[in-house]
């Protein structure tokens, strides 16, 4: 839900081929209301180290009159596919596509070599990583973290939590390598 929950609202929808079918027909949680979330999922977040989820998964409404009870997870087809080594060219900026599985098999990150800016998605962020759930793979996560560690990053913008620099990136990776016995 937090990966493609608003995908239908965009004209351009780029995705790794592994995730293309799931983007068209998303499965999983279809609610923003805590009481409608399965206990097993709530436990997964709490065991990872997150505080208990409040009444809703959102803390602000997207617009006046929005009713979170009417939320409906909608899919949409990809308008393009992205794989390792592709370049997203925004004319004034160019981002290399990195395939970074672990959290999901088709996770990608975008890296601007010129500035060292990394948009990491859920591959890494400065909070408790969710790495033990459906579709997740610690061996893939390890390979991804080795790839990220080798980058000359200046700042990492993760899918969650505050942005951070290279030093913190290395600290986060070292923490998970310790947990995983790497």
Say what percent of the chain tops pLDDT 90: 66
Residue 104 falls inside a structural domain: yes
Indicate the SS3 state at residue 15.
strand
| Closest CA relative to residue 173, chosen from 156, 149, 154, 151 | 149
Whether 90 and 66 map to the same domain: the answer is no
CA distance 106 to 19: 5
- Taking only the tens place, the pLDDT of each residue in 116-146 is 999 999 999 999 998 888 889 999 999 999 9
Determine how many CB atoms are found less than 10 A away from the CB of residue 150: 8
Whether 88 and 152 map to the same domain: the answer is yes
In the chain, the number of structural domains is 2
For the chain, what is the mean pLDDT? 92
Whether 92 and 172 map to the same domain: the answer is yes
Residue 42 falls inside a structural domain: yes
pLDDT band at 1 (very low <50, low <70, confident <90, very high): low
């Amino acid at each position: 839900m937090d990966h493609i929950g608003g995908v239908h609202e965009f004209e351009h929808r780029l995705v790794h081929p592994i995730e293309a079918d799931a983007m068209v027909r998303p499965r999983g949680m279809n609610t923003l209301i805590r009481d409608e979330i399965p206990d097993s999922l709530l436990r997964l977040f709490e065991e990872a180290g997150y505080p208990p989820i409040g009444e809703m998964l959102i803390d602000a409404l997207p617009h006046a009159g929005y009713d979170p009870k009417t939320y409906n997870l909608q899919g949409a087809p990809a308008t393009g596919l992205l794989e390792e080594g592709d370049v997203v060219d925004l004319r004034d900026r160019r981002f290399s596509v990195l395939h970074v599985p672990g959290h999901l098999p088709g996770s990608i990150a975008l890296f601007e070599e010129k500035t060292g800016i990394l948009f990491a998605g859920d591959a890494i962020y400065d909070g408790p990583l969710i790495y033990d759930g459906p579709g997740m793979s610690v061996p893939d996560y390890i390979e991804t973290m080795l790839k990220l560690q080798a980058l000359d990053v200046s700042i990492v913008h993760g899918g969650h939590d505050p942005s951070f620099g290279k030093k913190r990136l290395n600290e986060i990776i070292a923490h998970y390598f310790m947990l995983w016995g790497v």
